[in-house]
Amino acid sequence: MSKVAVERKNYAVLPAAVGPYSHAVKNGNTLYLSGFTAFNTPAQGKSMEEQAHAIFEQIKAVADAEGVDMSALIKVTTFITDFAQAKELRNVLTQHYNGNLPASTLVEVSRLFSPELNIEIEAVFGV
């Protein structure tokens, strides 16, 4: 039985992790991103739309660092605090997916780890 090397990764272009986790973990040809938020970005405390754009800039920075583009995005899980804003969020997602629609899950939660955050996104890439 062969073992696949697991790589735990942090990226200097992202805000530092605020807990005991890695920005991403690579296992074989799959890269699993932790939940990204707008924490420690200029979008912290702003609208869900602005926070979503900031999160996707982080996701794209990881993709760039890994040498892939957004077409390699396999799956996203999005946690939001107000489902009434889902329509605006869908518009943002459409812009960033550029026609390469991943599998997706959208979940409403009562809150995230900071009251200034209203969206968190996890992502999985094929690399």
Domain spans in the chain, listed from the N-terminal domain onward: 6-126
> Can you read off the two tokens belonging to residue 43?
């979008």
Q: What is the pLDDT of residue 2?
A: 66
**CATH of span 6-126:** 3.30.1330.40
Q: Is 75 helix (H, G, I), strand (E, B) or coil?
A: strand
Predicted structure pTM score: 0.94
Across 54-92, b (16+ Cβ under 10 Å) vs e yields bbbbbbebbbebbeeebebbeebebbbbeeebeeebeeb
Give burial (CB, 10 Å; 0-12/13-18/19+) of 102: middle
User: What is the Cα 70 distance to its own chain's centre?
Assistant: 12
Low-confidence ranges of the chain (pLDDT < 70): 1-2
